[in-house]
C-alpha cells in the first residue's frame, strides 16, 4: 500500500515540531516533503539574539540538521518559496517551478514583520529582524556604521538594540507606547528595565511617532524623523514594531483568512485537507506569537493528520518567562488589574526585584515579575487551576518555599510540583513528561533530558527546575555539570576559579576591569555575577578594590532583613553573646521610640528587633550607633556570630574561658566578608553547650587546651563539623581558625558554604595547608588580619560624621 503524501509549507519551529509529533505516533504513514524559503534547516528563531550579540553561532541554534531530515525520510527543499496552492489538483508550486502533490497540506508560513508605512521605508539600511539573513545584515552593518535606530521596544526590538550595542553601535530605541514591553510588563517593571538598559548605553524615545526615514547622499538611510520634528542619526534602522500573520499564500488559494488563516479546534482550515499551525493560524480569533501555544497546536495537528482524531486545541493560557538582555522577566494573565481586582506588590529597585500579583475573588488572574522569576511557574499554575489563594495570600510574594516547612527553595521547588505543572514554557513540557522520559530512557544528565524532551533547550530559563527534577528522580545517579568548571552565570563562560585566578594574576581591582579582561558577554553583568565579582575583588585586594555597594544584596546594604509583612529586622552585634546594661537600655529605648512590636533573643545569642518600618531604619541605626552598637551583619555573607557558653568564667564544669575566647574571635573577625555566612561557637568543656559541633568553626575546651572542628552546618541539612586539630593556647585558636577561614575566603566559590568547600577540596588538603604547614598557616592568618584591619562599621562611621541624613541616603532606593 502506497503512503499518503504530506507537504509542509514553512520550515520553522511550529511546522517541524508537528512533523516530530507525527513521527512519534505514525512514523510510516506519510511521504513528507518540506519547503522552506530560507537556505537553512530548522533553527531556533528565539536564539537569534545571542547570535547577533556574538554569544552563539548559526550552527549553535540549528534544531534539526540536514541529517535529521534524511534519517526521517523527509524531502527538504531549502531556499524555495511556494507561490501557489492548486487545491483542485492538490499540489503546491514553488517560485522556481518545483511542484509537489499532497493528500494533506500543512501551512506553517509564520508571520511577516510590520514595516511602518512612512517615506523612506524601502531605503538601503532599513531592515526587519526576523531571520538569519536579517541577523547577518545587522552584523555586517555594525562593522561599518555607528548609529542605529530600532523602531519598537518589544522583546525583539530590545534584543536587537542590545546586540548592536555589544557590537559597538550607538543605539536609540523609538517606541510608540508610553513604556517598553507593554505586552509583557506593567509600567513599574518596564521602568526598572529601562533604567537597566540605559545604564548599558541604550537610549529611548517613548510615546514617539516616526514620520520619515531620511535618505543620505550615499542613497542609504541617514536619519529618522519624529512627529515632534526631532531628527535622530541612523545609518541602520531596524523595524521591530510587530508582526502580521503571513496569509498571502492561503488567501490566493481561496482559504478563509481573518487576522490569520482561520482554523478550528483540530487545526483544520475551511478546506479539511489543509491544516495550519503557528503564527500564521488564527484560532478562535487569536493568532499566537509565543512558542508554547504553537507547540500545543503542533501536537493536536499531528494527532489529526495521523487520523487519530482525539485531540482538540481549545486555546492557550499564556505566560511569558524570558531573559531580556540578561534580565529575568515573567508575566501571565491580566497583570494590568482594574476594577474589582487587588494588587499585592513587592518592589526593591535597588536589588532589581519587582513582583506584582493581581487577585480577583481570591484567585490569581495575573502576575508580573522582574529580576526574580523563580516562582513564575507556581503563579502560572495557580492561575490556570483557578486555585483559591486566601490561605496563602500573605506568602505569595515570598514564594512557594515560604509555605510551611518547605525547606530550601532550590532543592524542593521542583519536587513539590505536580506532574501536570508546566516546567518549560517554550516547549510546553510538563513535569510528568520529563520524569517519564528519565525513567523510560535511563537519562542522567541535563543534556540527555534536553535531547529527549526539549525541556530547557530554548530560552534556558527553566534549566534550574529541570536539573532539580533530574536530581529528585534519579537521586545519587544524577550527573550534574562539574561545579569546578561551571560558568559563574550566563554572562560568561569562565568558572569561579578562573575568575579568581584572573583577578589575582592580572591584579584587577574593579568590576569593569574584570569584565573587559575576561570578555564578559554583557556590559554590566547581572544579579548573579556582580556580587560574586565584588566579593572576589575585595577578598583578593582588600585595601585596593573598592567595595561596590550596588553589587551587594539589599540586606547587606541595609543591615536589615525584610520580613514577610514588608517590615525589617535589625540585629545589633553582641560580641560572644555578651551585653551590658547600657546596650540593653539603648535597645529598649529604640524599641520604645520606634514602637518595635517584637523583641526576640536569637539562636546566635543576640537581640533581634522585628517589625521596623523602612523609613525608621536610618533613625534606629543612628540611635544604636550613638550607644556604640554596630551591625551584627546578621544577613551578610560575612562573620555572623560567635556563640559561647559561660565556660570557666562561671561554670563549675568549665575547663577553658569560653566567653573570653569567643569575644577575641569575634573581634578578630569583625568586618570579615566571605563567600557565604560564617558562624563560630566556643564551648568551655566537652559538654558542648554552645553547639560547636555544627558550626563553620567550632572550638571545644578540654583540660589540655582546645579541640578545633571545621565545616559544620546547622541549616536545612545538618552537617556535623569534622575534627581538625588540637591546640594549647588562645593564640593558637585564633591563628588556626583565622588561617582556615582565610583559605576558605581565598579559594571558596561565592555562595559556597565551608562544608561544601571542604567537601570539594577534601579535608586532608585543608589540613595540609594549615595544620601541617606552619609557614603557610602564618601567612594565611596574617592576610586575614591585614584584610580586616581598620574596619569600621559603616553605620557607626556615618552617624559620627554626618548623622542621620547620610544614613537615610543609603535607603532612598529601598522600596517595598
CATH code of residue 40: 3.50.50.60
Residue 804 included in any domain:
no
CB 717 within 8 A of CB 753: no
- Give the neighbor-by-neighbor strand order of the sheet with 91-94: 82-86, 91-94, 99-101
Residue 417 DSSP class: S
Residue 192 included in any domain:
yes
Model confidence, pTM: 0.54
pLDDT tens digits, residue range 692-716? 999 999 999 999 999 999 999 886 5
Residue 809 included in any domain:
no
Which residues, including other chains, have CB under 8 Å from residue 469's CB and lie 6 or more apart? 414, 415, 423, 431, 434, 435, 438
CATH code of residue 708: 3.30.413.10
Residue 741 included in any domain:
yes
**Same domain (yes/no): 286, 144:** no
Residue 720 included in any domain:
yes
Residue 440 DSSP class: H
**Same domain (yes/no): 235, 251:** no
The CA distance from 584 to 593, in Å, is 14
**Residue 710's domain spans which residues?**
639-788
CATH code of residue 438: 1.10.10.1100
**Same domain (yes/no): 697, 778:** yes
At 746 the pLDDT is: 93
Sign for the pseudo-dihedral over CA of 44, 49, 51, 55: negative
**Same domain (yes/no): 664, 761:** yes
**Same domain (yes/no): 57, 162:** no
Residue 360 included in any domain:
no
Integer angstrom CA distances of residue 401 from 331, 375, 528, 563, 718: 20, 9, 20, 14, 18
At 402 the pLDDT is: 56
Integer angstrom CA distances of residue 70 from 37, 74, 303, 755: 19, 6, 23, 51
**Same domain (yes/no): 104, 136:** no
At 323 the pLDDT is: 64
Integer angstrom CA distances of residue 235 from 128, 136, 197, 239, 277: 14, 16, 21, 13, 37
The CA distance from 591 to 601, in Å, is 14
**Same domain (yes/no): 102, 250:** yes
**Same domain (yes/no): 189, 301:** no
User: What angle is formed at CA 465 by the lines to CA 745 and CA 430, rounded to 5 degrees?
Assistant: 175
Number of domains comprising the chain: 5
CB 349 within 8 A of CB 192: yes
The CA distance from 1 to 197, in Å, is 61
The CA distance from 769 to 767, in Å, is 5
3-state SS string for 185-246: CCHHHHHHHHHHHHHCCCEEECCCCEEEEEECCCCCEEEEEECCCCEEECCEEEECCCEEEC
Residue 724 included in any domain:
yes
CB 696 within 8 A of CB 713: yes
| Burial tier of 618 (Cβ tally within 10 Å: 0-12, 13-18, 19+) | buried
**Same domain (yes/no): 132, 251:** no
Collapsing DSSP states into helix, strand and coil, what is residue 344? strand
C-alpha cell at 472: 529528585
At 401 the pLDDT is: 56
Name the pairing type of β-strands 327-333 and 363-370.
antiparallel
Low-confidence ranges of the chain (pLDDT < 70): 1, 321-326, 400-416, 442, 444, 457-461, 464, 474-486, 554-555, 557-558, 715-717, 793-816
Among 241, 275, 294, identify where a domain stops: 241
φ, ψ for residue 543 (rounded to 5)?
-115, 10
How far does the chain reach from its first CA to its final CA, in angstroms?
69
Residue 487 included in any domain:
no
C-alpha cell at 551: 553589587
User: What angle is formed at CA 799 by the lines to CA 617 and CA 539, rounded to 5 degrees?
Assistant: 85
The CA distance from 286 to 297, in Å, is 13
DSSP 309-339: ----------EEEEEETTEEEEEEE-TT--T
**Same domain (yes/no): 508, 471:** no
User: What angle is formed at CA 214 by the lines to CA 213 and CA 218, rounded to 5 degrees?
Assistant: 130
The CA distance from 325 to 150, in Å, is 15
C-alpha cell at 92: 503546491
CB 202 within 8 A of CB 173: yes
pLDDT tens digits, residue range 455-496? 876 655 577 678 778 877 765 445 455 445 567 877 887 888
The CA distance from 195 to 354, in Å, is 14
- Residue 545 CA neighbour count, 13 Å, CB half: 24
C-alpha cell at 460: 534556558
**Same domain (yes/no): 161, 67:** no
**Same domain (yes/no): 222, 256:** no
Amino acid at each position: 500500500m502506497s503512503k499518503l503524501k504530506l507537504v509542509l509549507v514553512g520550515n520553522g519551529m511550529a511546522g517541524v515540531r508537528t512533523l516530530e509529533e507525527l513521527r512519534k505516533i505514525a512514523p510510516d504513514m506519510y511521504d513528507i516533503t518540506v519547503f522552506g524559503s530560507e537556505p537553512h534547516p530548522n533553527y531556533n528563531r528565539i536564539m537569534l539574539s545571542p547570535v547577533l550579540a556574538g554569544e552563539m553561532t548559526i550552527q549553535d541554534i540549528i534544531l534539526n540538521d540536514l541529517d535529521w531530515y534524511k534519517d526521517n525520510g523527509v524531502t527538504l527543499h531549502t531556499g524555495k518559496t511556494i507561490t501557489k496552492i492548486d487545491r483542485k489538483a492538490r499540489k503546491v508550486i514553488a517560485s522556481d517551478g518545483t511542484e509537489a502533490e499532497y493528500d494533506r497540506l500543512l501551512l506553517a508560513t509564520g508571520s511577516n514583520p510590520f514595516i511602518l508605512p512612512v517615506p523612506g521605508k524601502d531605503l538601503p539600511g532599513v531592515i526587519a529582524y526576523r531571520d538569519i539573513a536579517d541577523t547577518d545584515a545587522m552584523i555586517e552593518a555594525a562593522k561599518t556604521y555607528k548609529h542605529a535606530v530600532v523602531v519598537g521596544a518589544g522583546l525583539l526590538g530590545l534584543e536587537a538594540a542590545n546586540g548592536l550595542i555589544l557590537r559597538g553601535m550607538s543605539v536609540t530605541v523609538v517606541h510608540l507606547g508610553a513604556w517598553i514591553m507593554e505586552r509583557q510588563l506593567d509600567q513599574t517593571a518596564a521602568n526598572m528595565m529601562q533604567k537597566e538598559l540605559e545604564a548599558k548605553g541604550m537610549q529611548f524615545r517613548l510615546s514617539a511617532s516616526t514620520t520619515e526615514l531620511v535618505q543620505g547622499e550615499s542613497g542609504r538611510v541617514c536619519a529618522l524623523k519624529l512627529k515632534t520634528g526631532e531628527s535622530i542619526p541612523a545609518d541602520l534602522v531596524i523595524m521591530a514594531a510587530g508582526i502580521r500573520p503571513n496569509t498571502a499564500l492561503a488567501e490566493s488559494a481561496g482559504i478563509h483568512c481573518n487576522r490569520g488563516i482561520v482554523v478550528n479546534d483540530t487545526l483544520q482550515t475551511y478546506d479539511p485537507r489543509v491544516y495550519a499551525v503557528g503564527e500564521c493560524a488564527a484560532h478562535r480569533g487569536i493568532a499566537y506569537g509565543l512558542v508554547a501555544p504553537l507547540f500545543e497546536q503542533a501536537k493536536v495537528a499531528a494527532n489529526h493528520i495521523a487520523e487519530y482524531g482525539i485531540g482538540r486545541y481549545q486555546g492557550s493560557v499564556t505566560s511569558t518567562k524570558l531573559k531580556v538582555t540578561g534580565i529575568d522577566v515573567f508575566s501571565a494573565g491580566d497583570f494590568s488589574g482594574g476594577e474589582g481586582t487587588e494588587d499585592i506588590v513587592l518592589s526593591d529597585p535597588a536589588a532589581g526585584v519587582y513582583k506584582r500579583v493581581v487577585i480577583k475573588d481570591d484567585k490569581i488572574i495575573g502576575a508580573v515579575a522582574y529580576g526574580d522569576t523563580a516562582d513564575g511557574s507556581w503563579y502560572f499554575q495557580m492561575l490556570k487551576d483557578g486555585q483559591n489563594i486566601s490561605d496563602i495570600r500573605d506568602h505569595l510574594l515570598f514564594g512557594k518555599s515560604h509555605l510551611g516547612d518547605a525547606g530550601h527553595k532550590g532543592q524542593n521547588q521542583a519536587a513539590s510540583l505536580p506532574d501536570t505543572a508546566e516546567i518549560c514554557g517554550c516547549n510546553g513540557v510538563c513535569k510528568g513528561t520529563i520524569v517519564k522520559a528519565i525513567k523510560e530512557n535511563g537519562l542522567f544528565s541535563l543534556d540527555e533530558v534536553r535531547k529527549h524532551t526539549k525541556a530547557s533547550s530554548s530560552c534556558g530559563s527553566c534549566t534550574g527546575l529541570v536539573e532539580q527534577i533530574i536530581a529528585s528522580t534519579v537521586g545519587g545517579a544524577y550527573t550534574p555539570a562539574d561545579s569546578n568548571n561551571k560558568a559563574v552565570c550566563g554572562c560568561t563562560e569562565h568558572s569561579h576559579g578562573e575568575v579568581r585566578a584572573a583577578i589575582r594574576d592580572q591584579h584587577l581591582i574593579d568590576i569593569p576591569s574584570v569584565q573587559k579582561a575576561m570578555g564578559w558577554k554583557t556590559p554590566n553583568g547581572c544579579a548573579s555575577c556582580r556580587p560574586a565579582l565584588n566579593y572576589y575583588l575585595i577578598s583578593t585586594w582588600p585595601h585596593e578594590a573598592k567595595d561596590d555597594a550596588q553589587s551587594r544584596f539589599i540586606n547587606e546594604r541595609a543591615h536589615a532583613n525584610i520580613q514577610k509583612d514588608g517590615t525589617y529586622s535589625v540585629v545589633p552585634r553582641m560580641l560572644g553573646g555578651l551585653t551590658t546594661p547600657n546596650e540593653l537600655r539603648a535597645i529598649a529605648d529604640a524599641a520604645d521610640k520606634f514602637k518595635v512590636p517584637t523583641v526576640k533573643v536569637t539562636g546566635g545569642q543576640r537581640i533581634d528587633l522585628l517589625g521596623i518600618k523602612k523609613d525608621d531604619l536610618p533613625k534606629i541605626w543612628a540611635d544604636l550607633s550613638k550607644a556604640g552598637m554596630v551591625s551584627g551583619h546578621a544577613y551578610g555573607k560575612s562573620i555572623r556570630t560567635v556563640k559561647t557558653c559561660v565556660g570557666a568564667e562561671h561554670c563549675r564544669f568549665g575547663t577553658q574561658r569560653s566567653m573570653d575566647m569567643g569575644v577575641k574571635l569575634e573581634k578578630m573577625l569583625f568586618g570579615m566578608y566571605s563567600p557565604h555566612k560564617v558562624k563560630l561557637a566556643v564551648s568551655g568543656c566537652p559538654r558542648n553547650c554552645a553547639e560547636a559541633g555544627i558550626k563553620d568553626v567550632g572550638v571545644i575546651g578540654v583540660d589540655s587546651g582546645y579541640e578545633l572542628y571545621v565545616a559544620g552546618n546547622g541549616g536545612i541539612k545538618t552537617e556535623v563539623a569534622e575534627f581538625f586539630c588540637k591546640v594549647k593556647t588562645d593564640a593558637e585558636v585564633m591563628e588556626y581558625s583565622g588561617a582556615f577561614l582565610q583559605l576558605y575566603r581565598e579559594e571558596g566559590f561565592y555562595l559556597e558554604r565551608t562544608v561544601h568547600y571542604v567537601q570539594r577540596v577534601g579535608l586532608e588538603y585543608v589540613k595540609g595547608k594549615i595544620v601541617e604547614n606552619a609557614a603557610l598557616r602564618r601567612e594565611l592568618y596574617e592576610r586575614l588580619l591585614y584584610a580586616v584591619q581598620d574596619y569600621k562599621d559603616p553605620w557607626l562611621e556615618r552617624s559620627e560624621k554626618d548623622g542621620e541624613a547620610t544614613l537615610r541616603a543609603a535607603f532612598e532606593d529601598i522600596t517595598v
